[in-house]
A and B are shown apart, each in its own frame.
Chain A
Amino acid sequence: MKTYRADLHIHSVLSPCGDLDMSPVTIIEKAQEAHLDIIGITDHNSTRQCPLIKSLGQKAGILVLCGAEVTSHEEVHCLALFENDKELLLFQNYLDLHLPNFPNNTELFGYQVVVDENDFIIYEEEKLLISAINQNINEIEKMVHSLNGLFIPAHIDKLSNSLLSQLGFIPSDLIVDAIEVTSHADIGKLQKRPDFQNKGFIRNSDAHYPGQIGSAFTLFELESPSFQEILLALKNQNNRRICI
């Protein structure tokens, strides 16, 4: 078993709040500098910058999990991560279907662009990506799991846009693959709550700027870096485990 360093919550230039320097090339460079083995690309309600980062990651020896940070109808932020391009595309269709048709205002919110490996803009998203989609958290979880993805409530201890701030506690029928906490979280206290029993915790940077990549991370003990191995570690099976 080897230990791999993972930061599964990184925004790119596509997120309106993401820095314009967060290009695919820069993200991979900074991930290497931060000694990350595995990263997750999770822009707000869009997966469109993921494929290029994944292919750059392959060349650089970094496993890139593709997905999004989805805003539920209750305004809960949740990470959704997928293994294959096919499922990622189906999830993108689902996001396009359910994201409200509210236009972005670049002066207020920032640019929402997909860039290529030379940093040329190849797509601009017109709809505001930080809107809540027209699906509740349980519906999103079911969709993610129907596509064999990972469903992880984001920064659960934050006072805004977290599962706890918006809904008070983890619904008993919600299936989560892990819980993301911030670096300020009191994990011992959370673990005493009945709704947190048998839940695995991960920590990520939620990076919006290049310098933040890898500033928080989770160690995975795996046989090799792969989506399926990560799944085993989150379930604490076959000697795979997570450590924060």
Chain B
Amino acid sequence: MKVCDLVNKLNLQVYAGEKGLSREITGGYTSDLLSDVMGNAEQGEIWVTLQTHKNTMAIASLKDLAAIVLVKGNQPEADTAKMSNEEEIPILGTTLSSFEITGRIFEALKL
């Protein structure tokens, strides 16, 4: 499934990185500890987090993740959004909690 398909299916916000909406999603990872994501997320995964710091984008780029989903209405900081555009890795958003959006993404990727 492509990032844009998931955006449509789950009605996600697109905050930045529109050029990366055609990236393919191979799985997902949910964590708010960036050290954990650095160690355990896999290439192509979509990352669910409440962290908005610029370091999230650096790690998404390093791990070649498909996109970041910010939960609970959190929005990226300005420099985070800028880096998302540069790296062409989208930052998406939802008002749902990590628990709920992770469940929905998990179901969507199973289909």
B25 CB, nearest partner CB in chain A, Å: 22
CB distance B77 to A136 under 8 Å? yes
A194 CB, nearest partner CB in chain B, Å: 12
Find residues 21-43 in chain B having any chain A CB closer than 8 Å to their own CB: 32-35, 37-38
- Residue B51 is within 8 A (CB to CB) of chain A in the complex: yes
- Residue A169 is within 8 A (CB to CB) of chain B in the complex: yes
Find residues 130-170 in chain A having any chain B CB closer than 8 Å to their own CB: 136-138, 164-169
- Give which listed residue, B37, B38, B53, B59, contacts A74 with CB less than 8 A: B53
Tell me the number of A-to-B contacts counted with CB atoms below 8 Å.
32
Q: Per-residue 0/1 for B79-91: is the Cβ within 8 Å of any A Cβ (1 yes, 0 no)?
A: 0000000000000
Q: Per-residue 0/1 for A164-195: is the Cβ within 8 Å of any B Cβ (1 yes, 0 no)?
A: 11111101000000000000000000000000
Which residues of chain B come closer than 8 Å to A166, judged between CB atoms?
32-35, 51
B interface size (C-beta, 8 A): 14
CB distance A165 to B54 under 8 Å? no
A interface size (C-beta, 8 A): 11
CB distance B55 to A167 under 8 Å? yes
Which residues of chain B come closer than 8 Å to A164, judged between CB atoms?
35
Which residues of chain A come closer than 8 Å to B33, judged between CB atoms?
165-166
Which residues of chain A come closer than 8 Å to B37, judged between CB atoms?
168
A131 CB, nearest partner CB in chain B, Å: 15
CB distance B51 to A74 under 8 Å? yes
Which residues of chain A come closer than 8 Å to B34, judged between CB atoms?
166-168
- Give which listed residue, A136, A138, A165, A171, contacts B35 with CB less than 8 A: A165
Q: A136-B77, A164-B35 are in contact. Are A171 and B51 (CB under 8 A)?
A: no
B37 CB, nearest partner CB in chain A, Å: 7
Which residues of chain B come closer than 8 Å to A167, judged between CB atoms?
34-35, 51, 53, 55
Instruction: Please measure, in the bound complex, the distance between the C-alpha atom of A166 and the C-alpha atom of B59, giving whole angstroms.
Output: 12
Closest to A136 in B: B53
Closest to A76 in B: B53
Find residues 60-78 in chain B having any chain A CB closer than 8 Å to their own CB: 77
Instruction: Please measure, in the bound complex, the distance between the C-alpha atom of A164 and the C-alpha atom of B34, giving whole angstroms.
Output: 8
A140 CB, nearest partner CB in chain B, Å: 12
Which residues of chain B come closer than 8 Å to A138, judged between CB atoms?
53
CB distance A171 to B59 under 8 Å? no
Since A167-B55, A169-B55, A171-B55 are in contact, a sample of 17 more A-B pairs with Cβ atoms closer than 8 Å, ordered by chain A residue number, is: A74-B51, A74-B53, A137-B53, A166-B32, A166-B33, A166-B35, A166-B51, A167-B35, A167-B51, A167-B53, A168-B35, A168-B37, A168-B38, A168-B55, A168-B58, A171-B53, A171-B54
A-B contact pairs, 13 of them (CB 8 A): A136-B52, A136-B53, A164-B35, A165-B35, A166-B35, A167-B35, A167-B51, A167-B55, A168-B37, A169-B58, A171-B53, A171-B54, A171-B55
Nearest 7 Cβ contacts at the A-B interface: A168-B34, A167-B55, A168-B38, A165-B35, A167-B34, A168-B35, A74-B53
Residues on A close to B: CB < 8 A? 74, 136-138, 164-169, 171
